[in-house]
Amino acid sequence: MKTWIFAVLVALLAPGCSILDATEDASDTVDDINDLLDDGLAVLRDLFPDLSEDEILSISLELSYDDIVALRDELEPIREEAARLSDALFTSASEVVEVRNEDLAAGNAGYPETVSPIGAAAFYNDATGEASIVLSGIFRNEDAVAITNDNVTVTVDGEVQETTTTCLNAGETVDIVFLLDITGSMRNVIRSVQNSLLMFVDAIEGSGLQGTISLVTFQDSVGVNVTFQQPAPAGGTERSPFFAPVAIDNLGQVEALRDFINTLEANMGADAPENLAGAIDFARNNVIGYTSSGQPNVVGDHVEDPPDTAPFPGLASDRQVFVAFTDITFHSDSRDEDNSSLLAPFVPRDIDDILASLVQTGTVVNISDPARVDETVAPTGASDEVQVDADYWAIRTGGVGEDVASGYSIMDLEVVVVGGRTGLLDITLDRILQSTCHVDFNASLNVDAQVEFTITESEETFTGTLDFHWF
């Protein structure tokens, strides 16, 4: 205990955090100092009741008493508003889930009755002749279906192609990145993700998936790696802390990720759209917007870095799968600091540029957003277009999220909100990942080519046609 008191005194006596400033008397007794320390710890315990005593002590070593009081004064009113917004979302979600269950009662709970992919997209590189079909969430009823080269056929104008089929449950490594909206109404979602993370990891470990797992938060900012247990950024930017990739099979590191999620706050959101586009670009490319010369603004190269940001480590597995949780739309290309709360340093790159990077790296984005959010999924870039439905990213990358079953998706955020301790598993994310596959082939395609793919499984056949996105 004496060692800890000495360490706290050293921290408090550092420049800008002097205990003498708090007591205003250089002759204060040890009892006065102990009282101040106890008061600070008491404030931290009240402010962060979910943290352990060791975590509280660790935070206290980094903060002066004035910092602690300032943090309390900052967070308490924000939490009151966040609680109001979160409770409203929970009430709305409960109502939607009840109606959702009724609407889908005769629709197999939104799952296909025969073998079928829930998400699908096709891409073609005209320069190289490389084509790829992405299939996500291949289900029969609520069971994931494993596919191989033996039960997938692709034809171009009736001619069978030589394909290579690779799936995440068959040896490929994958970087799973959670993208988490931390605006005010998301409190229950944060808790659901935190509570169910270890069960989710157990499930995907059991499926044989290998790779990494990480988390990027966003509001109108992204990449501001300042926790809610630290003083607010001096420049007035929003916090948007992240957790760098850790191995899926390292339970200690995954537990640390869970603890990190436990420290997150549902904070304010000044207007409707949030910076999901920026979060995707940051997680995939470590890029936030453009430099003044029009180049991608790489974080950490010290060239026009947005304030208070830190770089996100590069993703190096065979495949990348992003899973975004948000209760609102994202900023369209027309949104900037003049017509929204989006601060200039965090204006993301154009949607098409971000999408191109995802296509070129085979990155799939799954979206969990509310069924009640129904904005455009075909952005035009028009000056009066202010927001885009988050489902855009799932539709364009072959992920799951589009509202295809009576206006619902199996990834609906309402299910997460009311899911409690099993929010991730309630939306069958583990099974979606197990049945995420790429079917690759080389061909010389023209814009009029008729491309079909067929999945044959247990005497069932699914045939689909897709328009190729050219890049």
Distance CA 306, CA 343 (A): 10
Listed in sequence order, the residues at least 6 apart from 84 whose beta carbon sits closer than 8 Å to its beta carbon are 184
Distance CA 332, CA 385 (A): 7
- Asked: is 168-439 a CATH 3.40.50.410 domain? The reply is yes
Nearest to 48 by CA among 33, 63, 31, 32: 63
Distance CA 362, CA 139 (A): 21
DSSP of 317-362, one letter per residue?
SSEEEEEEE-SS-EE-TT--TTTSS--GGGPPPPHHHHHHHHHHHT
Structure tokens at 125: 């590189």
> What are the Cα distances from residue 379, in Å, to 12, 124, 323?
52, 21, 21
pLDDT, position 31 = 58
Beta carbons of 329 and 388 less than 8 angstroms apart: yes
Buried b (16+ CB within 10 A) or exposed e, 348-358: bbebebbbebb
Q: Which residues pair with 405 in a beta bridge?
A: 408
Label residue 25 exposed, middle or buried (CB < 10 Å: 0-12, 13-18, 19+).
Answer: exposed
Q: Give residue limits of the domains in the chain.
A: 2-63, 168-439
* Interstrand relation of 159-160 and 468-470 (parallel, antiparallel or unpaired): unpaired
User: Cα dihedral sign for 449, 112, 120, 164?
Assistant: negative
pLDDT, position 164 = 95
Nearest to 281 by CA among 209, 333, 213, 318: 333
pLDDT, mean of each 10-residue run, the chain (471 residues): 42 43 49 72 92 90 90 90 87 93 93 96 93 96 92 93 92 92 91 88 82 95 95 89 95 92 84 91 98 96 95 95 95 85 91 95 95 89 89 97 93 90 82 93 89 92 91 83
- To the nearest 10°, report the CA torsion of 90, 96, 102, 106: -110
pLDDT, position 447 = 85
pLDDT, position 459 = 86
Distance CA 382, CA 332 (A): 9
Residue type, 62: E
pLDDT, position 24 = 44
User: Which helix (H) or strand (E) covers residue 70, if one does?
Assistant: helix 65-104
